[in-house]
Amino acid sequence: MKISLFARWRGGRDTFEDLVMPHVNGLYRLAYHYCGQQSDAEDLVQELLLKLIHRVDEMERVEKLRPWLAKALYHLFIDRLRRQQRNPVDTLQPELLETHHAEAGSGSCAEKLVLIDNIEQALKRLSHEQRMLVVMHDVENYPLAELEIILETPIGTLKSRLHRARARLRRILDEDGTQSLSAAC
């Protein structure tokens, strides 16, 4: 029987893992969208988990853990971003995502990769706030009620910001000649 690191730390209980593990992949995806590269996203999630390991009792009392964790990740990212702005020689510098255009057997697979790349590039041209809202709502499927908690912003304001962000994304995609994608936005 394998005892995890967290189980040993908590005296044999797997509570931390039970609480956090269902959310780790989603947290990583959010972190990846925030940071723009794998290593920074992994570091951000790891830093969050290290900060939360001593807060198991508090996490057990949280009614909706998913938005609570996303909010904690968002605040941690903002803190790192502010530190980077004060100290530009920081490791958190978003780089362009590598496109993985492997030679595909079917044209539709290659076309999907191109479309995904176009969307990723268009998302990067949105403001930070617009990009995070679109990613959290449209990509990661956070409902507006959860975003209200995470971003501490009223739902009506979120709706109007989401509308403006989608309109901006549509314009960017149209400018780049990606008409088939802008219809989906």
Q: What is the secondary structure of 52-104 as a DSSP string? A: HGGGHHHHHH-S-HHHHHHHHHHHHHHHHHHHHHH-SS-S----PPPP--PPP
Same domain, 82 and 10: yes
- If one counts the domains in the chain, the total is 2
Same domain, 82 and 122: no
pLDDT in tens, 88-126: 433 333 333 333 334 334 456 667 777 777 888 888 899
Q: Are 101 and 92 in contact (CB under 8 A)?
A: no
The domain boundary, picked from 51, 86, 121, lies at 86
Structure tokens that stand for 136 in this block: 């959290």
89 to each of 39, 84, 85, 93, how far by Cα in Å? 16, 7, 9, 9
- Domain residues for 171? 107-177
Same domain, 131 and 82: no
Same domain, 72 and 138: no
**pLDDT at position 113, please?**
72
pTM for this model (two decimals):
0.60
* DSSP symbols for 18-44: HHHHHHHHHHHHHHHHHHSSHHHHHHH
10 Å Cβ neighbour count for 156?
Answer: 10
Indicate if the pLDDT at residue 1 is higher than 80.
no
Assigned domain for 183 exists = no
**pLDDT at position 109, please?**
67
Q: What is the CATH number of the domain that holds 68?
A: 1.10.1740
Give the pLDDT band (50/70/90) at residue 12: very low
Assigned domain for 44 exists = yes
Q: Give the rounded distance of the alpha carbon of 86 from its chain centre.
A: 23
> Mean per-residue pLDDT for 65-72?
92
Assigned domain for 145 exists = yes
Assigned domain for 151 exists = yes
